Amino acid sequence: MIAMILIGVGSGGCAMSRTDSAFARMPDREVTGSLWPSLSHAPAPTEGDLAVARNAASDVLTKGDKDFSQPWENPETGARGSVTPLAEAYDSDGHTCRDFLASYVNGSSERWLQGAACQSVGGRWEIHSMKPWKQG
């Protein structure tokens, strides 16, 4: 089910222009566990969960394929998910950047994160924002 949603979201982003993207202008702040309790009764991601998800995002963006998802799992908490780039790379202040969608699964609860990353001078993708995904 998750794979089908991610494929649909990823392929839907291909037809969108940069200015139409819901993720084109995201604030430069990272999500922390303190934001999650207000969203639901589901367990909040730990900083360790978020670090593993960020590493997966960097890895999948390095591969450069928008139709590929990178799974992630934090063995310390049992949380897991996947990260999928949403659209082609774009230029932001002279840096190559991409948007992505990440799933967060812990037990029977599931959440989604939207994020943006830009390539550093050394070529590594640095995550600039990762926050709860707000649909529509």
pLDDT digits (tens, 9 = 90+) for 79-94: 999 999 988 889 998 8
Rounded Cα distance, 80 and 102, in Å:
10
Tell me whether residue 66 is in a domain.
yes
* Domain assignment of residue 50, yes or no: yes
Residue 110 lies in a domain: yes
Sign of CA dihedral 82, 103, 118, 31: negative
Q: Which domain holds residue 8?
A: 2-12+27-132
19 lies in some domain: no
The structural domain count of the chain equals: 1
Answering whether pTM is above 0.75, one says: no
Helix-, strand-, coil-residue percentages of the chain, each rounded to 5: 25, 35, 40
Comparing 124 with 39, the larger pLDDT belongs to: 124
Instruction: Give, in order, the Cα–Cα distances in Å from 59 to each of 18, 21, 68.
Output: 23, 23, 11
Report the C-alpha gap between 117 and 19 in whole angstroms. Answer: 17
| Mean pLDDT (whole number) for 12-20 | 35
Query: Is residue 61 situated within a structural domain?
Result: yes
Tell me if 74 is assigned to some domain: yes
Residue 20 falls within a domain, yes or no? no
Q: Is residue 17 part of a domain?
A: no
Dump pLDDT digits (tens) for 53-86: 999 999 999 887 667 899 999 999 999 999 999 8
Q: Are 131 and 28 in contact (CB under 8 A)?
A: no
